[in-house]
Each structure stands twice: as structure tokens, then as C-alpha cells.
Amino acid sequence: MDKDYYKVLEIERGADAGEIKKAYRKAAMKWHPDRNPGDHHAEEQFKLAAEAYEILSDPQKRQIYDQYGVEGLQGRFGFSGFGGVNDIFSHFSDIFGDMFGTEFFGFGGRRERGSRSRRGADLREEVVITFEEAALGTKKELEIEHNDTCIACNGDGVEPGTEKQTCPTCNGRGQEVHSRGMFMITTTCSRCRGRGYHIPSPCKRCSGQGIEQMKKKVAVTIPAGVDSGDRLRIPGKGESGGAGGPAGNLYVDIFLAPHETFHREGQHLILELSLSFVQAVLGAEIEIPTLEGTTTLKVPAGSQHGDVMAISGGGFPQVRGAGKGDQLVVLKLEIPKKLTKKQEEALRQYAQEAELSVAPPKKGLFKSIIDNLS
């Protein structure tokens, strides 16, 4: 069955060049492999959209397609579609370069034909910090194993004292043109693999790869207010790129170590404060811990179990923007399990004056025996 390229891009047969380009952008965004990982149907649709744009954006090819269909193109241009997703990315990035800059979904933008430079992989590390460090901000030094630019060849892959040479097979173009009867077929250069040059003497230190395994220390500034699950992005501190490509990024995942005194709710710092019933009734001034030391908390008379008191600005700052959370003090009333005789008498006197019904005092063993005998 002949392919309907207009249907693929969801446009009318009379669509102009601007409408075709807009439709291709929309289709490519929808079916891009990065947005549909592992989806073979999406990959095929992505390739088909690129194929449709290749034909409909070229006035000569479009005219032949409109008259004779895909078979007419195969007979005139030797066109057989795209072999794989990677075959269309240089064409794809030309369409999206003006729209998204030099990089789109992790694939390089416009490149010179024959270039094989690769962006380095991203690295990820985890850092555990204390509540105090999260509140005030801190700096950490991480030691990271990574692939870095070879110090011998400076990433060129060429043995020092020697040079790259223009590929004699493709004359530096990175592509070979083959004649097949009436047709001309362009393929990636089999000798230089599209680079446009070859290396007679590869670097001995890195075997011509331009990168080597190394350890490096990276200073990371952790801003005040971060929480568990936050991620910091350190540009250019990931793996070095191949063949002179840009380095990847370093991503640092933040985790807060549990605190023996506090816990956190958003930007607020939570402290549970044990309070005797006498302090709750009469009020008290109590020294409590904070993230920056200690402070005195004035507990008003008549405080109840579960009451919450706030210390304004005693919590965590916003990572972006102004303002800080509060330190919230949750009052936890503690009831004594044992009382001295004097304490019990005082409480019974209070109950009597307040006309409260309470349990009678427990009799001692000797008093119970005398009462039973009489």
C-alpha cells in the first residue's frame, strides 16, 4: 500500500511550506523516542514523519510524489525511506535548531557533516546532610570517578607529536557516494566512520578514545533550604565528551539525615516539647533547642496538650525566593505515674476546692487489716 505522507503529517494536500514544517514539528515532538522510550510504534511513526517531511518539503520530490506516489520517487531519486532513527537526526535537528537552540532532547543541533563529537554522559551522586546544614546551607567536596579528557592527547585521540589526516576515501566529507546504475547512493564513509579524518597513530594512553578513567574532586555548594529528594545540577562536571564534545552534567541528590530532636514538615521545623501538668497550668519559661543554638520559650498558663507555639522564622528558608518557615513547638503533657504523699494531698485539696470528683485515697496494707478486724 502506498504511503500517504499528507495523512502522516495530518495536513491537507494543498498545505504550504510553513504548514508542512509546523506539522512536522508537532509530529516529531509527539513521536520522539525520548518521549516514548521502548515504544517501537512511536519509533516507526517518528521515522515516517521525517520521511514525509523529506518529501513534502522538497518541491520537486513533492510534485513527483503527488503524480506518481512513492514508487515514482524510488524510480527517480532512489529514495527508500530512512534506515534507522539515527539516520534522521541531522535532518531533524535542522528543523528544530531555530526553535530549541543547539540541543533538543539530548541530541546535538546543527553540526558540520562528518562530525562525530559526542556529549559526555551525566553523572549522579548522593549527599547526606544534617538539618543544620539544610537550614544554613553548606559546601561539600565530592570525589567522583569519571571519564575525563586524556591528559596526553588533550582529547584528540592522537599520539603526541603526530597529527590527524584527512580521510583519503571521502576527502574529509565523512560520506561516500556510490553509483548504482542510474542512481547515486550516499553512505557513511566506511574508513573514517563519518568523522572526515583518520588517525594513523592513536594515542597510546587512551587507545585513541580521547578519554580516560580518572578521579576528581568537585566542590558543591548546597543552598539553604534544600530537602530530601531535591536535586542539584552542576553543569559541565559530568563525563567528558568524546572527540572533543561537551562534558555532561553532574546531578547531586540531597538526603537529610534523621535528627534526634527535630523533624521537618515542608519549610517548618517541628519540636515536640514535654511539659509537666504543673507547668501547663501555671505557665513556664523553658529553654529549648533551635537549629542555631537555644532560645527561651514562654509557655502561657493554662496551656493544653497538643497546643502548638510558633517561633517565627525559626524553620528552613525557601531555596528560591524570600521568607523562612517557622519552628513549631508541639506541647506534650506528661502525667506523673507516682506522687509523694504531700503532692497527693495538695492535689486532693485542689480537687476539693474545684469540686472535682476523684478516686478515694488507697489504704495501706496495715490500715486495711485493722479495718477488716473491726
Q: CA 98, CA 50: separation in Å to the nearest integer? A: 17
Mean pLDDT of 123-148: 91
- 50 CB neighbour count, 10 Å cutoff: 23
- Strands (E) across 150-210 are located at 165-166, 175-180, 183-188, 197-198
Position 371 scores a pLDDT of 54
Confidence of residue 110 (pLDDT cuts 50, 70, 90): very low
Do 117 and 240 meet the contact criterion of CB atoms below 8 Å apart? no
Assess whether 307 and 347 both reside in one domain.
Answer: no
Q: Is 244 helix (H, G, I), strand (E, B) or coil?
A: coil
In a domain, 195, yes or no: no
Q: Percent of the chain scored above 90 by pLDDT?
A: 35
pLDDT exceeds 50 at position 104 = no
Mean pLDDT of 160-173: 89
Contacts of 74 by beta carbon, 8 Å cutoff, 6+ apart = 80
Do 301 and 331 meet the contact criterion of CB atoms below 8 Å apart? no
Confidence of residue 83 (pLDDT cuts 50, 70, 90): very low
- Which residues in 311-328 are b (16+ Cβ under 10 Å) and which e? beebbbbebeeeebbbbb
74-83, 98-107, 188-197, 214-223, range with the lowest pLDDT: 98-107
Which residue, 86, 108, 130, sits at the end of a domain?
108
Do 20 and 57 meet the contact criterion of CB atoms below 8 Å apart? yes
In a domain, 193, yes or no: no
Confidence of residue 156 (pLDDT cuts 50, 70, 90): confident
Assess whether 34 and 86 both reside in one domain.
Answer: yes
In a domain, 180, yes or no: no
pLDDT exceeds 60 at position 353 = yes
pLDDT exceeds 60 at position 148 = yes
The CA–CA distances, whole Å, from 247 to 108, 118, 121, 123, 235 equal 13, 9, 7, 10, 8
Q: Which DSSP category does 20 fall into?
A: H
- Which residues in 3-31 are b (16+ Cβ under 10 Å) and which e? bebbebbebeeebeeeebbebbbebbbeb
Which residue, 61, 91, 108, sits at the end of a domain?
108
Q: CA 161, CA 150: separation in Å to the nearest integer? A: 15
Contacts of 87 by beta carbon, 8 Å cutoff, 6+ apart = none
Give residue 354's domain range.
343-373
In a domain, 303, yes or no: yes
Q: If residue 262 lies in a helix (H) or strand (E), which one and from where to where?
A: strand 262-265
pLDDT exceeds 90 at position 11 = yes
Specify the CATH number for the domain of residue 313: 2.60.260.20
Q: CA 34, CA 94: separation in Å to the nearest integer? A: 18
Confidence of residue 94 (pLDDT cuts 50, 70, 90): very low
In a domain, 104, yes or no: yes
Position 116 scores a pLDDT of 54
Assess whether 292 and 360 both reside in one domain.
Answer: no
Q: CA 203, CA 216: separation in Å to the nearest integer? A: 22
pLDDT exceeds 80 at position 266 = yes
Write out pLDDT tens, residues 177-189. 877 766 678 888 8
The CA–CA distances, whole Å, from 292 to 47, 182, 213, 289, 299 equal 59, 82, 42, 8, 21
Specify the CATH number for the domain of residue 73: 1.10.287.110
Contacts of 207 by beta carbon, 8 Å cutoff, 6+ apart = none
Confidence of residue 117 (pLDDT cuts 50, 70, 90): low
114-128, 296-310, 334-348, range with the lowest pLDDT: 114-128
The span from the first CA to the last CA of the chain, in angstroms, equals: 114
Assess whether 276 and 369 both reside in one domain.
Answer: no
Position 363 scores a pLDDT of 63
pTM, entire model? 0.52
Per the model's pLDDT, the better-predicted residue between 186 and 111 turns out to be 186
- The count of structural domains within the chain is 3
Could you tell me which of 168, 242, 190, 185 has the C-alpha nearest to residue 212? Answer: 242
Write out pLDDT tens, residues 46-59. 888 888 888 898 88
In a domain, 201, yes or no: no
Order of all β-strands in the sheet with 231-234 = 123-129, 250-256, 231-234
In a domain, 58, yes or no: yes
